[in-house]
Amino acid sequence: MKEEGFPFTSPVDTNIAIEETFTNGIDNLQDEHEQLLEVEDETTFNDEKLAEELPEEFTEQLLEGAKKTITINAYERNAKARQLCIEHWKPVCAVCNFDFEEMYGDIGKGFIHVHHLTPVSQIGNSYEVDPVNDLRPVCPNCHAMLHRQDEILSIEELKLIVAANVTELASR
> What pLDDT is attached to residue 73?
74
Run of H or E including 163: helix 155-170
How long a stretch of residues is the chain? 172
> Within 10 Å of residue 89's Cβ, how many Cβ atoms?
18
Give pLDDT, residue 121.
Answer: 78
Contact 11, 5 (CB under 8 A): no
pTM equals: 0.60
pLDDT digits (tens), the chain, 172 positions = 434 443 444 444 444 444 454 455 555 555 555 554 454 444 444 444 444 665 666 556 777 888 889 988 777 788 999 999 999 999 999 999 999 999 999 999 999 999 999 988 788 777 889 999 999 999 999 999 999 999 999 999 999 999 999 999 999 9
- The pLDDT assigned to 41 comes to 43
Domain range summary for the chain, segments of one domain joined by +: 3-58, 79-170
pLDDT of residue 54: 58
Contacts of 120 (CB under 8 A, 6+ apart): 75, 77
Model pLDDT, residue 39: 47
